[in-house]
Amino acid sequence: MAIKFNTTHAEEFVSAADIKALEAQAVNAMNTLHNKTGEGSDYLGWVSLPTDYDKEEFDRIKKAAEFIKDNADVLIVIGIGGSYLGARAVIEALKSPNYNSLKKDTPDIYFIGNSISPQSLNEIISICEGKDICVNVISKSGTTTEPAIAFRVFRDMVNSRYSPEEASKRIFCTTDKAKGTLKKLADTEGYETFVVPDDVGGRYSVLTAVGLLPIAVAGIDIDALMSGARNAQNELNGTDVESNIALKYAAVRNAFYNRGTKLECFVSYEPCMAMFNEWLKQLFAESEGKDGKGLFPVSCIFSTDLHSLGQYIQESGSSLMFETVIKFNKPQSDFLITEQEGNIDGLNFLAGKTMSFVNEKARQGTLLAHTDGGVGNLVIECEDITEDTIGYLIYFFEKVCAISGYVLGVNPFNQPGVESYKKNMFALLGKPGYEKEKESLENRLGIC
Ligand code: PA5
């Protein structure tokens, strides 16, 4: 198994009996998932995705990535939520948060359409000046406002720089196989399209073309990523709670929730995991946060945040949060601290030690301090930060989330709450069909 799950430092906060009872519920929830008899069962394509993915499309993704690498200085990736976070999380974890500044033989990658900020848009437009660009627009519905506006801008940019024939080769659309504005536009303009499968929701879609095309352009081995996920698919199937750690984790986090804990804080000691934490937050918040239920997912990068949020966490008491720490035994690279003559900074006691050793001591010290302060710690231990491990982690968390959601008693595959702000925004912007709502909303806002 690529990862280990350790509950030792949570056991003083949740009782063994509570966990045991929830383990039985987790097994039932997993059976519901496997038998496709639960709520949202139309969205279970991700369960077998690592083995059942479309091989022909997978080859086309690799070819498209090669074309982009050969022909673009910059790839613009347009998408929001599940159509954005997974790709960025994997690229930052496996390459770097500073990917664009690294010396490399792959294009820079910029993500846009994940906000409505004019400043962000203008920045990327100016970065693209004088550069050869390709665009990958990703939207399952094909109608989401943020990416739709960004695509209008970058489609214009491509059209103004290249011949119609060349322009159509530089735009790649990842969307529904048949419906939506984006699919219609792609077919009309002759853009290459990739499919977001009907039975895979946005936040479970990173291992489809949604994530795989940008990830492949960054030079990441997508075969190894899928292979890691496949290992997880094969290993996280059994009903024995000790060997199927997805069951164990789903049970323990529900035990925390049932005793009144409000937050789950995803923690890593590697800054390259910050976006992975963002992906986790979306996965759990959109899956579990409904019907007034669910742990609120938050995240930290330590030791950075020990110098900001650490104080609050340490003294928050025992019912605000527990931490789920993703620990890597081997960093992507290490650094040896050397002896300095005179020892003016007093650090010679660390000479001969590596930075990863110091980082691990920070983790151990924090674990003990936070558990002393009442904050339980779950530890997910990974050997290294490689394609295999990240693929495994993605599938592991998706499966935990689905099982955990069923244990909680919610449909982990819908997101009704995401729609409310969208409707209000459409009305306030004067979208046809929303006239009545516009008037009432403007009255509430005091707009004459
Ligand atoms: O996970 C989800 O379903 C959402 O976060 C969507 O991915 C997000 O709203 C973007 O939707 P779309 O891909 O349809 O543009």
User: Consecutive sets of 10 residues in the chain, 448 residues long: mean pLDDT of each?
Assistant: 94 94 97 97 97 97 98 98 98 98 98 97 98 97 93 98 97 96 96 97 98 98 98 97 96 97 97 98 98 97 97 91 97 97 97 98 98 96 98 98 98 90 91 92 91
Closest ligand 1 atom number to CA of residue 418: 9
For residue 204, the model assigns a pLDDT of 98
Q: Is 414 in the pocket of ligand 1 (CB under 6 A)?
A: no
Residues in Cβ contact with 390 at an 8 Å cutoff, skipping those fewer than 6 apart: 90, 93, 94, 225, 228, 276
Question: Model-level pTM?
Answer: 0.97
Q: Is 228 in the pocket of ligand 1 (CB under 6 A)?
A: no
- Determine the distance separating the centroid of ligand 1 and the alpha carbon of 138, expressed in angstroms: 9
For residue 420, the model assigns a pLDDT of 86
Q: Is 107 in the pocket of ligand 1 (CB under 6 A)?
A: no
The whole-angstrom separation of Cα 438 and Cα 442 is: 6
For residue 266, give the H/E element and its range.
strand 263-268
Q: Is 230 in the pocket of ligand 1 (CB under 6 A)?
A: no
For residue 259, the model assigns a pLDDT of 95
For residue 105, the model assigns a pLDDT of 97
Can you name the residues that pair with 382 across neighbouring β-strands? 3, 328
Nearest CA to ligand 1 atom 8: 81
The whole-angstrom separation of Cα 408 and Cα 186 is: 40
For residue 270, the model assigns a pLDDT of 98
Residue numbers annotated as active site: 286, 307, 422
For residue 11, the model assigns a pLDDT of 93
The whole-angstrom separation of Cα 136 and Cα 210 is: 9
For residue 448, the model assigns a pLDDT of 73
Q: How many CB atoms lie within 10 A of CB 341?
A: 6
The whole-angstrom separation of Cα 99 and Cα 78 is: 17
